[in-house]
Amino acid sequence: MANMIGARVKALRQRRGLSQDALAGIFGFKDRQTVSALETGVRRLAAAELVVAVEKLGVELDYFTDPFRLDGEGRFSWRQNGVAPEQLQAYEQDAGQWIGAYRALAADTGLRAPLMRKALGLTKASSFEDAMDAGERFVAELDLGPVPALRLASAMEAELGILVLMVDAQEGISGAACRLPELDAVLIARSEVPGRRHFDLAHELFHILTWEAMPPAHVEDASDFGGSRVEQLANSFAAAVLMPASALGEFDNCAALATEVLVARLNAVADELHVTSSALRWRLAALRRLTKARARAIPESALRNNGHGAAPRELPALFSKPFAELLAAGLEEGCISHRRAAALCGLAIDDLEDLFAAHGVQHVIGL
């Protein structure tokens, strides 16, 4: 609790643009060292000092005490396009509640986080070929099969202990990675076309597995190619995970194919691999099976599965099965009320049963 409160004091101080000396004055401390000790969890905030913090800093008490918040603890990297900073900050608060709730309920119900984290042996100095090789090896070592997109999320959860959440995101937000001392999480906008969702998932996985070696930016543009070197490495890894070379035998001689035949083959194989045709063409260019000039020359309108003008489609269930299972366990053990669980998920209380049913989780509201 001391570490949690200290982290939130620091986050609030920084958000308000206050120095440690200024905050020491607000609390009536004799020097900034006391604030430093408080922010690092060495010193506890006394009850009377907590009242001062609420009154002087203009926040609610639960800012410091709510275990579902991540202020000062969670580090996010958002994949988005054109979202205003204030909107992104507000949505990050919601995302923090989901991840914070999962962490708190896991502790309350005895679900322990993995003791060790896996990491890729890559740095900013690594080549794009290194990132693609890491993606190929990832597919092989986790035995993701001939269509890795279909097993990636479950493997991340079961094998790596990463929380994967399908969410209703604000327009412009496609996904995010979140790093906590004891938990990793990935959020994906479930309204995206399947190929985009899968690419975003593999892209954010790269950030989770390389966070210490090359921490991602807080905000990044959502594009399959381009951006900073770290983003390009992430894209190279994601493309190799979803489209391993062993699955692309049909394109061994694609340079000789007529454009109409090539486009038809791109669309068909992209459908089989559950990726977008656009991502597949650039993967082929990276493998030098297609020249960049020819890849660019393919009209976007011919790539049918990228979501342009797509018909309505069934969305994946909200959040994830591990999240739903833990929420149900928390309800059954009295760690959270149905009212708070519903508010957390943005649902009416009666709709919680639908959430559980969508994931095959048994829990009856009202019993």
Residue 185 shares a structural domain with residue 299: yes
Average pLDDT estimate for 208-218:
96
Structure tokens at 312: 């309505």
Using the 3D structure, point to which of 65, 85, 119 is the last residue of a domain: 65
Give the domain extent around 327: 321-358
Whole-number pLDDT of residue 115: 80
User: Over 50: is that where the pLDDT of 309 sits?
Assistant: no
Average pLDDT estimate for 242-260:
89
- Count: domains in the chain: 3
Q: Is residue 100 part of a domain?
A: yes
Q: Which CATH number characterizes residue 47's domain?
A: 1.10.260.40
Residue 190 shares a structural domain with residue 279: yes
Query: What confidence tier does 105 reach under pLDDT thresholds 50, 70, 90?
Result: very high
Q: Is residue 289 part of a domain?
A: yes
DSSP 318: S
Please state the φ and ψ torsions of residue 277, each to the nearest 5 degrees. Answer: -65, -35
Whole-number pLDDT of residue 306: 63
User: Over 50: is that where the pLDDT of 310 sits?
Assistant: no
Average pLDDT estimate for 94-99:
95
Residue 46 shares a structural domain with residue 84: no
Which residues are within 8 A (CB) of 261 and not within 5 positions of it... i.e. 6 or more apart? none
Angstrom CA distances, 184 to 207, 210, 321, 350, stand at 10, 12, 16, 30
Query: What confidence tier does 181 reach under pLDDT thresholds 50, 70, 90?
Result: confident
320-335 pLDDT, tens per residue? 999 999 999 999 999 9
Residue 37 shares a structural domain with residue 177: no
Query: What confidence tier does 40 reach under pLDDT thresholds 50, 70, 90?
Result: confident
Q: What is the C-alpha to C-alpha distance for residues 319 and 342, in angstroms, rounded to an integer?
A: 13
Residue 29 shares a structural domain with residue 146: no
Angstrom CA distances, 175 to 44, 70, 78, 171, 192, stand at 36, 18, 6, 11, 10
Using the 3D structure, point to which of 40, 65, 90 is the last residue of a domain: 65
Angstrom CA distances, 123 to 147, 207, 287, stand at 28, 11, 21
Between 233 and 251, the higher pLDDT residue: 233
Residue 117 shares a structural domain with residue 30: no
Work out the percent of the chain whose per-residue pLDDT is above 90. 67
DSSP 174: E
Residue 80 shares a structural domain with residue 185: yes
Q: Is residue 367 part of a domain?
A: no
158-179 pLDDT, tens per residue? 999 999 999 999 899 999 999 9
Residue with tokens 């988005």: 80
137-153 pLDDT, tens per residue? 999 999 999 999 999 99
Using the 3D structure, point to which of 13, 40, 65 is the last residue of a domain: 65
Whole-number pLDDT of residue 257: 87
Residue 111 shares a structural domain with residue 172: yes
User: Over 50: is that where the pLDDT of 74 sits?
Assistant: yes
Q: Is residue 363 part of a domain?
A: no
Angstrom CA distances, 345 to 24, 70, 252, 286, stand at 38, 16, 47, 41
Which residues are within 8 A (CB) of 60 and not within 5 positions of it... i.e. 6 or more apart? 54
Q: Is residue 247 part of a domain?
A: yes
Closest CA to 316 of 166, 147, 174, 175: 166
One-letter amino acid at 238 equals A
Average pLDDT estimate for 220-244:
88
Residue 193 shares a structural domain with residue 119: yes
Residue with tokens 């489609």: 313
Residue 330 shares a structural domain with residue 280: no
Average pLDDT estimate for 282-303:
92
Q: Is residue 126 part of a domain?
A: yes
Closest CA to 81 of 188, 220, 278: 220
Whole-number average pLDDT of the chain: 91
Residue 251 shares a structural domain with residue 353: no
Q: Is residue 201 part of a domain?
A: yes
Residue 209 shares a structural domain with residue 308: yes
8-21 pLDDT, tens per residue? 889 889 888 999 99
Q: Is residue 71 part of a domain?
A: no
